[in-house]
């Protein structure tokens, strides 16, 4: 747990070193490394050859889900159920449509959150890789997801 130092009523508390790389600007390179997740096998990006084949239609997108207009909790639950069902059917490549958000200045909530969800233990057991989709498949408002092969 982080130790805090009280600096006065009108000044915010200072977090001491080692608390979290999100709470301050640490100069320790170890603090800037991505967090290691112990909840499943590692994920990779979809290699360039497979991404090009998906984009050009030479590798079929076997299933798709549209999360537009959903609240985060609903979208999370639906996505997990969808990927689980697709995995059980032996599907390898899916398209997840998140939408781009309503504000031109910022990315949509789901477009920001879905890639983070895909890195959590529940999803890592199902997902081997993910990448932003090609422009004609939704661009920054969609994600190609490659599912792991399930052991038979």
Residue appearing with tokens 């920054």: 140
DSSP 113: H
Domain boundaries, the chain: 1-33, 48-147
For residue 133, what are its two tokens? 């989709």
Pseudo-torsion of CA 126, 130, 136, 138, nearest 10°? 80
Digits of tens for pLDDT over the chain (152 positions)?
444 444 444 444 443 333 333 334 444 444 444 444 445 555 667 778 877 888 888 888 999 999 988 999 999 999 999 999 999 999 999 999 998 876 666 678 999 999 999 999 999 999 999 999 989 898 889 999 999 987 65
Q: What are phi and psi of 48, to 5 degrees?
A: -60, -40
* CATH number of this structure's domain 48-147: 3.30.1370.110
Q: What is the pTM of this model?
A: 0.67
């Amino acid at each position: 747990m982080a130790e805090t130092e009280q600096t006065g009523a009108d000044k915010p508390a200072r977090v001491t070193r080692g608390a979290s790389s999100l709470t301050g600007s640490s100069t320790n390179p170890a603090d800037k490394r991505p967090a290691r997740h112990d909840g499943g096998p590692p994920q990779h990006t979809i290699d360039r050859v497979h991404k090009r084949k998906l984009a050009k239609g030479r590798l079929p997108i076997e299933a798709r889900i549209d999360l537009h207009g959903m609240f985060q909790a609903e979208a999370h639950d639906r996505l997990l159920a969808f990927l689980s069902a697709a995995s059980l059917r032996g599907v390898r490549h899916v398209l997840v449509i998140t939408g781009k958000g309503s504000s031109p200045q910022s990315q949509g909530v789901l477009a920001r959150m879905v890639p983070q969800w895909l890195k959590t233990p529940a999803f890592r057991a199902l997902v081997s890789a993910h990448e932003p989709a090609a422009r004609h498949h939704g661009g920054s408002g969609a994600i190609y997801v490659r599912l792991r092969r399930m052991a038979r």
